[in-house]
Structure 1
Amino acid sequence: MTASRPLSLVTGGSSGIGAAFARQLAALGHDLVLTARRADRLEALAAELREQHVTQVTVLPYDLVDPATPRTLCDELHRRGLQVDWLINNAGYGVPGTFVANDWATHADFLQVLLTAPTELAWRLLPGMRQRGHGRIINVASLAGHVPGPAGHTLYAASKAYLIKFSQSLALENRTAGVNVCALCPGFTWSEFHDVTRTRDKMNKLPGFMWLSAEEVVRQGIAAVERGDAVYIPGRVNRAIKTMVQLLPDQLALWLSARESKRYRNTQI
C-alpha cells in the first residue's frame, strides 16, 4: 500500500461485482471513485460507504459506451487532483441472441464498453502508477474467456479472452515497476447480469454449487492481485472446468460447449 490512503476507481460500480469491490476496498481503507450510468445507485452506495467507513467517495456518473468517456473521466480526475492507485475495470454486460440478430450499433457499443474503454483507462492511468512505484489493475474477465465460445453470446467470450491476454502482457511489462495486473475470471456469479440478458429462468436451473456470490469473487480477486497473479479463476469448480477443457480435444470441447450452451443461452434470436 502507499503511505497515504489508496484511491480506487471502480467502473460499473452501481451493482453486482462492482458494488462488492467498492464495499470491500472501502473496508480495507481505500478512498473511492465510482463510475457507472446510474447516478442514483452510485449516490446511494456512496452514502452507505461514507457512513460505514472513514472514506472519501467521489461519484462520477459516466457512460462508457461514449468513446470520449475514458479521456473525459481521467481529465476530471486530474482536475480534482485525484491519483488512482487501483483500477477496477469491471463495467460490462451481455448481448443476448445470435450475432446477426443484433444491429451493428449494438455490437459497436458492446465492444466500446468491454474492450476499448478498459484498455484506454489502463493506458491513461498506468503511467501515474509506474511513476509512483505502486499500482493495482484488476480487469474483470470471465471463465468464459477460457472455454470455447458458446452460441448466443457471440462477442462475450471473445471479449473476455482479450482481457485475459491483455492482463497477462500488462502484468509482465509492469511487475518490476510495482504494478500488479490481474484478470479476474469468475464463473456464474449472483448478480443482475442474467436479469439484464433475460436468461434468469434458464440460469436458475443450474445447480447451486456452480455459483459464487459477488462478495466471494471480489475477496478472492483482491487477494489474487496482491499476490501478483496475472490470471485468477475464483472457485474450485470453475478451476476444474478450465482444466478439463484444456485437457479435452478441441472438437470435443466445442461439442460440449454447444450442448451445454443451449441450457443457458438464447440461440434462437
Structure 2
Amino acid sequence: MTHTILITGASSGLGAEMARQFADLGHDLALCARRTDRLEELRAEILGAHPDRIVAVKALDVTDDDAVFTVFEEFAAELGRIDRIVVNAGIGKGAPLGTGRFDANRETAITNFVGALAQTEAAMQVLRAQGGGHLVMVSSMSALRGLPRSMATYAATKAGAAHLVEGLRTEFYGQDSYDFTVLYPGWIESEMNEGAGAAQRKVMVSTEKGVAAMVAAIEKRRASACVPPLPWAPLSVLMKHAPLPVFRRMV
C-alpha cells in the first residue's frame, strides 16, 4: 500500500536516506528542510529512479514555530492526506555544562526539543483532523541515560523528544487508527557524526544500513526500536542498568 510520508530534516543524512528507501518501497513523499537546493537535488534523484512517485518539497527551519505549522498544513492540503510524519530534524551541538557555552547548549535545546515539540504539535493537528496516522520520532541511544560533557544537553533533548511521543502512545492507547514509534539510533554515518572518535567508529554503520533498520522498524509500526538492533538493543539494557562506575567507563 502506498503511503504519503512527511520527513523533516530531509536534505541530508538520515532524513535524505529515509526518503530514498521509502520511495524504493513505493511511498510518496513530503520533504522539508532548510537547504532547498539539496531537497531539489534529492527530489530529482528520486523521481529519476521512480517517475511515478510524488515528491513534494518545502523549505523549513524547525526553530520557526509558525513555519512548522504552516508547512505541515500546506503539505496536508496539497497532498490530501499525510499517512506518516517523521520528526527527524535536529543538530548535535553541545558543550560541558558550566563552561561558558550556554549559547551552544541553548541552540541544541531549541532545535532538538522545542523544535520537536512544534513538529509534534503540528503533526498531531494534521493527524487528529484526518482521524489517524503514524507519528515517528527520531530520538537517539543517548536518550536512554544522562550523558556527560558535551553530550549532556543533547541527550536530555532527545529524551524529552522521545517522551512526547511516549505520552501520546499512552493517550491514544486502544485507538487503532493511530500509531506511534520512537527510534533510538546508535552510531550511523551522517553529517552530524562526522566528528566521531575512533571508539565510536568501531560500532558505526553506513548510512544505508542504519537507515534500512530504521525504515524496517517504521514499516512494522514498532512502538520503539534501537537501531540497528545489533549491537544497540543489547547495549540499551546495559546503558539503562549498569552501575554508575561501569557506565562512566563506557562513555
Could you say whether these structures have the same fold, taking a TM-score greater than 0.5 normalized by the shorter chain as the test? yes
Give the alignment's TM-score, normalised by structure 2.
0.87
**Stretches of 4+ aligned residues off by more than 6 angstroms:** none
Q: Where in structure 1 are there 5+ consecutive unaligned residues?
A: 261-269
The aligned counterpart of 2:178 is 179
The alignment partner of 1:148 has SS state of coil
Q: Percent identity?
A: 27
Query: How far did residue 163 of structure 1 move?
Result: 2.2
The aligned counterpart of 1:70 is 68
Segment of structure 1 superposing worse, 154-163 or 78-87: 78-87
Q: Equivalents in 1 of 2:54, 2:221: separation in Å?
A: 27
Would the alpha carbon gap of residues 106 and 206 (structure 1) be closer, same or farther in structure 2, given more than 3 Å must change? closer
The alignment partner of 2:134 has SS state of strand
* CA offsets 1:209-253 (integer angstroms, 9 cap, x no match): x1122323332223323434222101321122211133322x324
Q: Within 5 Å, which residues of 2 pair with 1:182-221?
A: 182-195=181-194, 199-200=195-196, 203-206=197-200, 208=202, 210-221=203-214
Give the alignment's TM-score, normalised by structure 1.
0.82
Query: How far did residue 35 of structure 1 move?
Result: 0.9
Would the alpha carbon gap of residues 217 and 179 (structure 1) be closer, same or farther in structure 2, given more than 3 Å must change? farther
Would the alpha carbon gap of residues 67 and 109 (structure 1) be closer, same or farther in structure 2, given more than 3 Å must change? farther
The aligned counterpart of 2:115 is 117
Would the alpha carbon gap of residues 127 and 64 (structure 1) be closer, same or farther in structure 2, given more than 3 Å must change? closer
- Aligned-partner residue type, residue 232 of structure 1: A
The aligned counterpart of 2:37 is 40
The aligned counterpart of 2:236 is 242
Would the alpha carbon gap of residues 150 and 104 (structure 1) be closer, same or farther in structure 2, given more than 3 Å must change? closer
Do the aligned partners of 1:67 and 1:117 also contact (CA within 8 Å) in 2?
Answer: yes
Q: Equivalents in 2 of 1:139, 1:80: separation in Å?
A: 23
Q: CA RMSD in A?
A: 2.3
Q: Where in structure 2 are there 5+ consecutive unaligned residues?
A: none
Segment of structure 1 superposing worse, 137-146 or 229-238: 229-238
- Aligned-partner residue type, residue 46 of structure 1: R
- Aligned-partner residue type, residue 193 of structure 2: H
Do the aligned partners of 1:130 and 1:177 also contact (CA within 8 Å) in 2?
Answer: no
Would the alpha carbon gap of residues 65 and 207 (structure 1) be closer, same or farther in structure 2, given more than 3 Å must change? closer
Q: Equivalents in 1 of 2:242, 2:104: separation in Å?
A: 34
Do the aligned partners of 1:130 and 1:174 also contact (CA within 8 Å) in 2?
Answer: no
Do the aligned partners of 1:84 and 1:125 also contact (CA within 8 Å) in 2?
Answer: no
Considering Cα pairs closer than 8 Å and 6+ residues apart, tell me whether 1 or 2 has the greater RCO. Answer: 1
